């Protein structure tokens, strides 16, 4: 007779797919996620800064946000494809 109960066998069988699922996650996915959403939301931030007039007072801020938008476009290009 085996001392292993059916509960232990079922729980061991359910752990294997979970471990395999974590091993198949793309390590670049968080970078693509942040890049994608930066590219999506940054134009709204830029337009609101232009409308309020903050961008004219601080052109360095405008340039930095434009660079962040371009970086988001590059890094978030293949997100969820």
Which residues are CB-contacts of 68 (< 8 A; sequence separation ≥ 6)?
Answer: 38, 42
Residue 15 inside a domain? The answer is yes
- Classify residue 30 by its DSSP letter: H
Whole-prediction pTM: 0.64
Residue 63 inside a domain? The answer is yes
Residue 1 inside a domain? The answer is no
| Total structural domains within the chain | 1
Cα dihedral sign, 59-65-66-68: positive
pLDDT value of residue 48: 93
Residue 81 inside a domain? The answer is no
> 28 lies in which domain range?
6-75
Tokens standing for 71? 């970086």
Taking the chain, what is the end-to-end CA distance rounded to the nearest angstrom? 51
Closest by CA to 68, choosing from 78, 52, 44, 57, is 44
Q: How far is it, in rounded angstroms, from Cα 71 to Cα 77?
A: 10
pLDDT value of residue 47: 93
pLDDT value of residue 56: 84
Q: Which residues of the chain have pLDDT under 70?
A: 1-23
């Amino acid at each position: 007779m085996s001392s292993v109960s059916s509960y232990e066998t079922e729980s061991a069988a359910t752990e294997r797919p979970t471990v395999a699922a974590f091993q198949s996650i793309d390590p670049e996915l968080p970078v693509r996620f942040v890049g994608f959403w930066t590219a999506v939301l940054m134009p709204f931030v830029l337009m609101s800064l232009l409308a309020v007039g903050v961008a004219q007072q601080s052109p360095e801020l405008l340039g930095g946000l434009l660079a962040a938008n371009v970086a988001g476009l590059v890094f978030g290009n293949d997100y969820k494809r």
